[in-house]
Amino acid sequence: MHSKVAVGFLLLLVGSRQSACTSVNLEEEAEKYVRKMEERLGEIDSWGLTANYSYWAGKHSTRGEKPIEAKVESLQCHLQQEQKIIQKGELNGCKEIFTWNITDTMRSPFRLLVNVTIPMIRNERAKHTKTVELDLNNATEITREIQNRRKDVKNAAHKVTMSCDFQAEATFTGFFAFHVKRPRGDRPNYNAVTVLV
């Protein structure tokens, strides 16, 4: 076990157009880290971030380490603009389209699931809401269509367009592991590395 080794690619910020964002490729960051460790430990012939890696599958973990788990902590938006256009006409049900445009994203082998209550921009006492699950991993645009969420719509068609900058924060906790082909001295072949939050 290599207890003094730590890696710091941990925080995901996903946002829309004008927010301050960070785009991260978790696998590229792990690859850079592994290449640096090769300078100290010798040739590393395999490594993995997920529970499918041989370190976990072969039960080489001896100190209670757990594979990395990814979790989206929050997704928040702040209203920028609202346009409301009222058009008269018959209404045969209501279709709403919700779109999340993501300019800076996270690329990793993990699903980054978050439950979002729509509409995200709403009155605090809104009665007609719906929860949808989004996977932010590798996403650049997510669209959800909702039919007839509101049952009390009057006999006029309304077109409402709203937008907001949004930000999501994800954390990665646990360990990733790598295998040293020919370890030096009494060092183990497998090493687990803490991913710090």
pLDDT per residue over 112-124, tens digit each?
998 887 766 666 6
**What residue has token string 């209670």?**
64
Structure tokens at 178: 């790598």
Other C-beta atoms within 10 Å of 118: how many?
17
Q: Which of 23, 27, 4 is nearest to 13 (CA)?
A: 23
Q: How far apart are CA 15 and CA 87, in angstroms?
A: 32
Sign of CA dihedral 137, 166, 100, 23: negative
pLDDT for the residue numbered 186? 79
- The whole model's pTM is what? 0.70
Structure tokens at 143: 């669209």
pLDDT for the residue numbered 167? 82
**What residue has token string 């346009």?**
83
Mean per-residue pLDDT of the chain: 75
> Is 84's pLDDT higher than 80?
no
pLDDT average, residue stretch 27-36: 91
Beta bridge partners of 113: 135
Q: How far apart are CA 171 and CA 25, in angstroms?
A: 14
DSSP string covering 46-99, please? EEESSTTSHHHHTT---S---B-EEEEEEEEEEEEEEEEEEEES---S-EEEEE
Q: How far apart are CA 12 and CA 23, in angstroms?
A: 7
H or E stretch covering 31 = helix 26-41
